Amino acid sequence: MSSAKYVLLTTFRKDGTPVATPLWAAADGDRLLMWTVTDSYKVKRIRRNPEVTVAACDARGKPKGPEVPARAVILDAADTDHTRDVIARKYGILGWLTMKGSLLRRGKTGTIGLAVTADDRQEPQ
């Protein structure tokens, strides 16, 4: 999934309704780094419930593989800067331009990094 151009991040509303969003993602060790607008609803949902699912997808969010249960963490300013760098490297000139344009438009605090790690816990049998 780390080589996929887009990853479908699914967060969950209070009532359990899934909300899926295609995002850019880049591998960083055993986690996927993603980047989004700080005040987005997905960030609010992750603050309340860090349990998510991820799947490779196309730009429109059509899954291209199985969903994987995972856990999301909202990153601090230093890790968000690292996330911007990792994503810019993966997506080349388009990634670099997008990151710089976002910094000009929203400033450093207008976007935030997310780290998603696959949930390797086994369900009781």
Percent of the chain with pLDDT over 90: 75
Q: How far apart are CA 84 and CA 95, in angstroms?
A: 9
Residue 48 pLDDT: 97
Q: What residues does each domain of the chain span?
A: 6-118
Contact present, 50 and 92 (Cβ < 8 Å): no
Q: What is the pTM of this model?
A: 0.85
**Which fold, 6-118?**
Pnp Oxidase; Chain A (2.30.110)
Beta strands in the chain (DSSP E): 6-12, 18-23, 25-28, 31-37, 51-57, 68-74, 111-118
Q: Which position has the higher pLDDT, 62 or 95?
A: 62
How open is the CA angle 26-70-25, to the nearest 5 degrees? 15
